[in-house]
Amino acid sequence: MAPVKLTSSYYQQFFILGGRVFMGPGRLQCITTFTTIIVACLSFFFSSGPLLVDSKICCVLLAISAVLFVLSIYFLARTAFCDPGIIPRCEFGVEERFLEPRPVGIAKGVVINGSVVTLKYCRTCLHLRPPRCTHCRVCNNCVERFDHHCPWIGNCVGIRNYRWFLLFTFTCTALDLLVFGLSLVDFVRAAEKAPRGPEISSVADLLLYTAMQRPATFFVILFTILGGTFLVMLSRLHLRLAARNITTYEHIKGASRAGRDGLFSRGAPLLNWAE
């Protein structure tokens, strides 16, 4: 499906480079996410990286970390700067729209895999929503195969950027775990070199001393612990949802509990992941 051209004042999206770059309404959140990942990774590469090149294994892992970092930024950009699948509105003139009798309770049904799916009428966009399409209250648009509105990128995740979102989540999770492991190695090495004496008589003293000697490494470890916990849970959730062909919105609304998890399923997890 080709990206749509949105020109109405109703849309809150932002376009640059002649419409080639698409940004959602949460531009500040998007910039913050980019900045956080870049600052954390550069802190690791410039603080711990030079001290880990003495080991061949660490050198290989550092190279893998650099590749994952570049891929994470690329996939994040593709997710944040992509049209998620916005369905254009049925726009009328001001007078026509005011005088147009708005349908109340209009709905149609289509049969999908032997089950009837109701197409609801969107009173904001003035059209019948296709199956799995939802109106996002933040972006104020109907998004095809709406998954969720991601506050970290300030944009919706839908049919056009869900794959990029999954790739970003998985690569960023792998990057986080790898950076955490290498930072921990650097921190332990620094702790082993700490002088022994009455001023360092406990594990807490050793931890405090090492953190003061290696503040950037200590910051990266704390950041990767917090971020890694969230990313691992997010990756696990989307692996399970993608295997059953369920969106996050459907999962929250209880589609799996209602027995509708197989409605759009292609029969096998691999086929669902491929879709």
pLDDT, one tens digit for every residue, the chain (275 residues): 444 444 444 455 666 666 667 777 778 888 999 999 999 999 999 988 888 888 889 899 999 999 999 999 999 999 998 888 888 887 654 334 444 455 555 556 666 666 667 778 888 888 888 888 889 888 888 999 999 999 888 889 999 999 999 999 999 999 999 999 999 999 988 888 877 777 777 778 788 888 888 899 999 999 999 999 999 999 999 998 888 888 898 888 876 554 445 577 777 777 777 76
Tell me which DSSP letter residue 16 carries.
Answer: E
Burial environment of residue 62 by CB neighbours within 10 A (0 to 12, 13 to 18, 19 or more): buried
Residue type at position 181: G
The answer to whether 125 and 89 are in contact (CB under 8 A) is yes
Give the per-residue pLDDT at 83: 86
Give the per-residue pLDDT at 99: 42
List, by residue number, the catalytic residues.
150
Which residues are bridge partners to 109 per DSSP? 118
Give the per-residue pLDDT at 143: 92
What phi and psi values does residue 23 have, to the nearest 5 degrees? -130, 140
